Structure 1
Amino acid sequence: MAHDHASHGHVPHGHSHGAGHVHGSTDKKRVLIAACLTGGFMVAEALGGLITGSLALLADAGHMLADSIALGLAWYAFHLAGRPATGRLTYGFGRVKTLVAYTNGIAIFVIALWIVYEAWGRLMHPAPVLGGPMLVVAVTGLLVNIAAFFVLNGGDRGSLNMRGAILHVLGDLLGSAAAIAAAVVILATGWTPIDPILSVLVALLILSTAWSLMREAAHVLLEGVPASLDRDLIAKDIEATVKGVREVHHMHVWSLDGTSNMATLHACLNDGVDPHMAVSAIKKRLAAEHGIDHATVEPEFGLCADSHDEHDHHHDHAHDAPRDRRHYH
Structure 2
Amino acid sequence: MGHDHSPAKALTATGKHRRRLIAVLAITVGVVLVQVAGAALSGSLALLADAGHMLSDAAGVFIALLAAWIASRPASDARTYGYQRAEVLAALANALILVVIAVVVFIEAIRRLGTAPEIHTGIMLYAALAGAAANLVSLLILRGAQKESLNIRGAYLEVLGDLVGSVAVIAAAVVILFTGFQTADAIASVLIAVMILPRAWHLLRDVVDVLLEATPKGVEVRMIREHIQSVAGVVAVHDIHIWTITSGVPVFSAHVVVEDDVLSARGADQVLDRLASCLGSHFDTAHCTFQLEPASHAEHESHQHA
* TM above 0.5: yes
CA deviations 1:260-306 (Å, max 9, x no partner) are: 22111101112211333222221211111222111111011223555
Q: Report how far residue 93 of structure 1 moved.
A: 2.4
CA contact (8 A) 2:215 2:243 kept: yes
Partner of 1:253: 242
Number of matched pairs: 296
3-state secondary structure, aligned to 1:129: coil
Q: Does 1:148 align with 2:138?
A: yes
Question: Aligned equivalents of 1:222 and 1:78: distance in 2?
Answer: 21
> CA 1:236/1:9 → structure 2, altered by over 3 Å: closer, same or farther?
closer
Pick one of 279, 284, 290 that aligns with 2:277.
284
Question: Identity over aligned residues, as a percent?
Answer: 37
Q: Report the aligned-residue RMSD.
A: 2.3
CA contact (8 A) 1:242 1:281 kept: yes
Question: Aligned equivalents of 2:54 and 2:96: distance in 1?
Answer: 15
CA deviations 1:111-132 (Å, max 9, x no partner) are: 1121211110111322211112
Q: Report how far residue 9 of structure 1 moved.
A: 10
Partner of 2:257: 268
Pick one of 157, 181, 185 that aligns with 2:175.
185
Partner of 2:28: 38
Q: Report how far residue 95 of structure 1 moved.
A: 2.1
Question: 5+ residue gaps in structure 1?
Answer: 309-329
CA contact (8 A) 2:158 2:199 kept: no
Pick one of 83, 101, 125 that aligns with 1:111.
101
Question: Aligned equivalents of 1:191 and 1:172: distance in 2?
Answer: 23
Partner of 1:24: 15
> CA 1:10/1:187 → structure 2, altered by over 3 Å: closer, same or farther?
closer
CA contact (8 A) 1:74 1:97 kept: yes
CA deviations 1:159-209 (Å, max 9, x no partner) are: 111111112222222222111110000000000111121222222222222
CA contact (8 A) 2:43 2:118 kept: yes
Q: Report how far residue 10 of structure 1 moved.
A: 6.7
Pick one of 7, 31, 34 that aligns with 1:12.
7
CA contact (8 A) 1:28 1:79 kept: no
Pick one of 293, 297, 305 that aligns with 1:303.
297
**Matching of residues 72-111 of structure 1 within 5 Å:** 72-111=62-101
3-state secondary structure, aligned to 2:226: helix
Question: Aligned equivalents of 2:149 and 2:5: distance in 1?
Answer: 25
3-state secondary structure, aligned to 1:227: coil
Q: Report how far residue 84 of structure 1 moved.
A: 2.5
3-state secondary structure, aligned to 2:82: coil
